[in-house]
Amino acid sequence: MEPKRLGQLLVLGGLGLFFLSAYQVMQLREQFSLTQQSFQSAPLHIWLETSLAAILCLWGSLHLAGQFQPISALETQRGMQADTLRLDFMTFNHRASLMPMELDPVGKI
């Protein structure tokens, strides 16, 4: 099976599990309201279904993304040092210049 098709199936299965777990929680809340019990938390099997659905959606989206491509520098930037690439982001007029150079030690009065 090709990776894109597998990714689509995994995402659809994950979304289906999300809807199923949401439906089960709604049914459980309705059942608790009919029996006048308070709803504390969802049971463990609903937590596990939700976790499995999230994992399936994540795994399927990774298959849908395809192969990762390496990040390569432009030809004009090869051989340049990292500190000279973005000089417009360097600033020396920042709020640390307002702090006193010598601070009194803590606890000394």
What does the domain layout of the chain look like in residue ranges?
3-65
Closest-CA residue to 16 (of 28, 24, 4): 24
CB hemisphere CA count around 47 (13 angstroms): 4
Closest CA to 46 of 82, 83, 20, 8: 20
Mean pLDDT of the chain: 83
Question: How far apart are the C-alpha atoms of 62 and 70, rounded to whole Å?
Answer: 16
**Structural tokens at position 67:** 């192969």
Work out the average pLDDT over 93-99: 76
pLDDT tens figures, 50-95: 999 999 999 999 888 878 788 776 766 666 666 665 666 667 777 7
